[in-house]
């Protein structure tokens, strides 16, 4: 579903509008021109998922949502 210029996918059945909360029922789905996922706060990522955030590429080490890539103790591992 498109809402306010962004693409969203419902995580479960809902009447909630997209974009209300990063913990809500909608995930914002964004991709880079090469098809790599772009990190968004509401999107759920699982181990092995690769994302781009602030020009850097990261791989998820475990399930994560609304945890910004870059914290070495967090769920993201920087890829070189």
Say what the pLDDT of residue 72 is. Answer: 86
pLDDT tens digits for range 32-73? 999 999 999 999 999 999 999 999 999 999 999 999 999 989
pTM score, two decimals? 0.91
Q: Is the dihedral of CA 18, 5, 62, 77 positive or negative?
A: negative
Say what the pLDDT of residue 37 is. Answer: 98
Contacts 24+ apart (CB under 8 A), 32-38: none
* CA distances (Å), origin 34, targets 8, 12, 18, 30, 31: 19, 28, 25, 11, 8
CA distance 17 to 34: 29
């Amino acid at each position: 579903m498109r809402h306010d210029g962004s693409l969203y996918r419902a995580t479960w059945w809902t009447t909630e509008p997209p974009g209300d909360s990063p913990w809500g029922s909608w995930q914002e789905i964004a991709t880079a021109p090469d098809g790599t996922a772009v990190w968004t706060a509401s999107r759920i990522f699982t181990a092995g998922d690769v994302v781009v955030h602030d020009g850097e590429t990261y791989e998820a080490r475990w399930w994560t949502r609304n945890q910004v890539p870059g914290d070495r103790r967090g769920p993201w591992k920087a890829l070189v």
